Amino acid sequence: MRALATYSVKGGVGKTTTAVNLAFEAGRAGVRVLVWDLDPQGAATYLLRGRPKLRGGSRRLVGTSGELEPHIRATDLAGVDLVPADLSLRHLDLHLDKAKRPSHRLRELLEPVADGYDLLFLDCPPSISLASESVIATVDGLLVPVIPAPLASRTLAQVARLLRDQAEPPSLLPILSMVDRRRSLHRELVDELTADWPQLLPTAVPAAAVVERMGVERAPVGLLAPRSVAAHAYRSLWADVASTLWSA
Amino acid sequence: MAPTFTRTDVESDQVVDALVADDFVLEGPVPSHRLVLETFDGDLAAAGLRLEQQVVAGHTTLVLTSRAGGPPASLDTEVRPAWPQDLPPGPFRARLESVTNGRALLPTLALSSSLRTLTRVDARDKPVVSIEVHDDLRVEGEPAPSPWLAEVQGRTGHANAAEAAAAALARLGLDGSDDDVVALVALDVGVSLEGHDTSPTVPLDADEDAVVAFRRVLRHLADVIDATIPGTLADHDIEFLHDLRVAVRRTRSVLTESKGVLPADVRATNRDFFRWLGQVTGPPRELGVYLVGWEDYTAPVTDATPAALDHVRKELEARRRAAHRDLAKALRSPATRDGLAAWRAWLAEADEPDGRHTVGPIVVDRIERAQATVLRAGRAIGPDSPAERLHDLRKDAKRLRYDLECFGSLFPAKPWRGFVDQLKALQDNLGEHQDAEVHLAYLRDLAQDLHHRANVDTDTLLAMGRLTHHIDRRRRRERQAFMERWASYDTKGNARTLDSLLGSVD
């Protein structure tokens, strides 16, 4: 099982929409996907029409006798299962801290179910915490959505610094998110980011009303408007991601 | 597996009406077509996988389910793959590639139905379980024994809902089965989803009459021959021909070893027939092996002149096609048809024990003789012995291996496997050496042939020279490795293992 996290220290940059839309595209491509919602706000759980309930809360989940399998739920998307989030995850750091090896605990929990999936998406809350460290120790790649904004490069630099401290850091995979090419500032910043960050995935996801509609319809863009520019972008982004994961 | 329900004296409409009254949401009917794809050997089933092309309401997907858990993998594609490589790169293809061992994916069971889906949703309008009702079930277009079936489709994390749905169907008086629709229909129409067993081992008792035991072994080998001929003719993959050839050779070997057991006239006639059958399968197999391993074979010489060997490859492909046409002609000829029919007719006669021998001592005697021949031949080989000696040893080792495999059920499994593995290691070395010898001779012949053709450039001939050099190095390497390989076969420990194996047969 390969593992990716959608991660950023900033909120509202499109982490969850990226995770959900890529999970949908991966599922259509014959990939068995597990989305694990680690954000107590539970946005991925909501978009995937899951019930925001972790039986026993995050304490029981990450505790010594915790297991992931009983928390896994099917979604309406072919090939995509979900570990839902609830508010108890706001204490995740606290509970991880009690584990023997906090940074390895997520990986330990995943091990028994790993054979059933080809790809894991960890949808993370916007923070730098013990949970982030555990996520970074678990995944092969960190998908970091960035909006073309003056501080975007700085945000990416913070994440890159975070990875630099790791013995075996995951790949940094920045994604241009919510791009509005009608705005000259966006065009300039996209050029700058492309020049500064060679790891940037080639596909830029446009700012689009249909992405916002996901919150109303609770479905990925590929189902809501399969011929839209945004759906096309997510398909293309999935191709970028898949080629980094399975290029060999 | 999804449990399935039906009952011949109940109409499916009654079941659907009852489920709708129980708050299940009805969708359909829509046309459904399912095609199970599997290798001849059943490699997917052995790995706990099932691959289906599903066309539901006009939408086509490939669905790969696993007994190991996780959701079914569902690939949106119109492609019906004959090979995993027909699919785009990614985990779906990789999972198939990792278990199919170079075998083609063949249609195994075609199932069509009119599909109605009844879904139970929870308080938040979330589907928790579905019941799929298949009406007008057909297999390969013909009505299936069960006119309709209802299958419970559970969803991960909602086991209780699936149990409740199954209980609801049971309460309607339906008969339940743990098999899903595909497995149940396959069972009804006698289609194996597990693939064909080409292993030569059949259950034997050391004390049973030798005539009966030898005939059982030969009948099983005849089944393998029958099962592999259609795939060989269709040229689905190279392994059909391999399996056919091995079954033919094993048949010949068992006939040879049946001296004093089976009637002399039956042995003589059929040994001749199977020798001929074995010979006609030779050329396409040799060329096929060449081509399947082409990339590996030519890798050391293609970096400098990557396209220079294209001519050679195309020529080999043309020759293999021609050899396969000759083989197909031979397999469809009256000689094959009549030979196999006569063989089958003799095998179909009632087994009549003659009370002269029991199979155990006969097999022990044959294996002792075969091993003695191998030891004599192997010990006579020195560093300067000609290649023919190694080839002869290879044939002797094959005879021993066939004896051990065809009568393998007489022996305790663990030491038997250990001894066969030792023998196999020796055979691998001898096989590699022989393949290199054959390929060298073939390349020289081909080079001469191409040299006389105006359209072959110098680069090709030079590349062939380099390839010849490379294969010759490999041949010499295998030749050098032989002495070491032989030394690890011809040991006291190995002899003791065989003695104890044979001694275990009372």
B156 touches chain A (CB under 8 A): yes
Identify which of A29, A72, A76 has the shortest CB distance to residue B90. A29
Identify all chain B residues contacting A72, using CB atoms and an 8 Å cutoff. Answer: 156-157
- Confidence band (pLDDT; 50, 70, 90) for A92? confident
Close Cβ partners of B392 (under 8 Å, ≥ 6 residues apart): B377
Average pLDDT over residues A46-74: 90
Contact assignment for A27 to B126 by CB distance below 8 Å? no
Token representation of residue A95: 């509970």
Provide the pLDDT for residue B305.
Answer: 63
Residues of B in contact with A1 (CB under 8 A): none
What's the rounded Cα separation, in Å, for the pair B152 and B136? Answer: 18
CB B242 within 8 A of CB B351: no
pLDDT of residue B304: 58
Q: Which B-chain residues 42-81 have CB contacts (< 8 A) with chain A? A: 61-62, 64, 66, 68-76
Q: Do B124 and A79 touch (CB under 8 A)?
A: no
Whether the CB of B92 is below 8 Å from some CB of chain A: the reply is: yes
Which of A123-127, A220-224, B160-164, B405-409 bottoms out in mean pLDDT, i.e. has the lowest? A123-127
Residue B90 to residue A30, Cβ atoms within 8 A = yes
Q: Which residue numbers of A have CB closer than 8 Å to B's CBs? A: 27-34, 49, 51, 71-74, 76, 78-81, 113, 115-119, 242, 246
Amino acid at site B174: L
Please judge whether A51 and B62 are an interchain contact, meaning their C-beta atoms are less than 8 angstroms apart. no
For A106-115, write each residue's pLDDT tens digit: 999 999 999 9
Question: Which residues of B are less than 8 Å from A79 in CB distance?
Answer: 71-74
A178/A159 Cα distance (integer angstroms): 19
Question: What pLDDT score was predicted for residue A224?
Answer: 94
The whole-number average pLDDT for the span A140-161 is 89
Q: So what's the pLDDT on residue A12?
A: 86
Yes or no, beta carbons of A115 and B68 under 8 Å apart: yes
What are the pLDDT tens digits along chain B (506 aa)? 689 999 888 899 999 999 999 999 999 899 999 999 999 999 999 999 999 999 998 899 999 999 888 899 999 999 999 999 999 999 999 999 999 988 999 999 999 999 999 999 998 888 999 999 999 999 998 999 988 999 999 999 999 999 999 999 999 999 999 999 999 999 999 999 999 888 888 999 999 999 999 999 999 999 999 999 999 999 999 899 999 999 999 999 999 999 999 999 999 999 999 999 999 999 999 888 888 878 877 877 766 566 778 888 888 899 999 999 999 999 999 999 999 999 999 999 988 888 889 999 999 999 999 999 999 999 999 988 999 999 999 999 999 999 999 999 999 998 899 999 999 999 999 999 998 888 888 888 888 887 777 667 788 888 888 888 888 998 999 999 999 999 999 999 999 999 999 998 86
- Which chain A residue's Cα is nearest to B60? A28
The DSSP H or E segment spanning A238 is helix A229-245
State which residue of chain A sits closest to B128, comparing Cα positions.
Answer: A74
pLDDT of residue B306: 60
Q: Which residue, among A76, A118, A119, A244, would best test binding to B if mutated, counting the most B CBs under 10 Å from its CB?
A: A118
For chains A and B, what is the number of CB pairs under 8 angstroms? Answer: 82
Which of B75, B78, B153 is the mutation pick for testing A, counting most A CBs within 10 A?
Answer: B75
Tell me whether strands A119-123 and A80-83 are parallel, antiparallel or unpaired. Answer: unpaired
Give the whole-angstrom CA distance, residue B107 versus residue B77.
17
- The CATH classification number of A2-245 equals 3.40.50.300
Residues of A in contact with B69 (CB under 8 A): 113, 115-116
B423 and B403 Cβ atoms separated by less than 8 Å: no
Domains and CATH numbers, chain B: 4-189 (2.40.320.10), 210-503 (1.40.20.10)
Nearest CA of chain B to the CA of A16: how many Å?
21
A174 upstream amide cis, omega within 30 of 0: no
Position B133 scores a pLDDT of: 97
pLDDT tens digits for range A178-215:
999 888 888 888 898 899 999 999 999 999 999 999 99
> B132-135 long-range CB contacts below 8 Å, 24 or more apart?
B132/B181, B133/B12, B133/B15, B133/B16, B134/B32, B134/B181, B135/B12, B135/B29
DSSP output for B472-493? HHHHHHHHHHHHHHHHHHS-HH
Separation of alpha carbons A70 and A60, rounded Å? 11
Mean pLDDT in chain A? 91
Instruction: Show the DSSP H helices in B124-209 as ranges.
Output: 159-171, 181-189
Residue B35 neighbours by CB under 8 Å, 6+ apart:
B52, B53, B54, B80, B107, B109, B110, B111
Closest by Cα among B87, B156, B161, B32 to A32: B156
Give me the pLDDT at residue B506, please: 64
Beta carbons within 8 Å of A219's beta carbon, 6+ residues apart? A47, A76
- Give the type of residue at B313: R
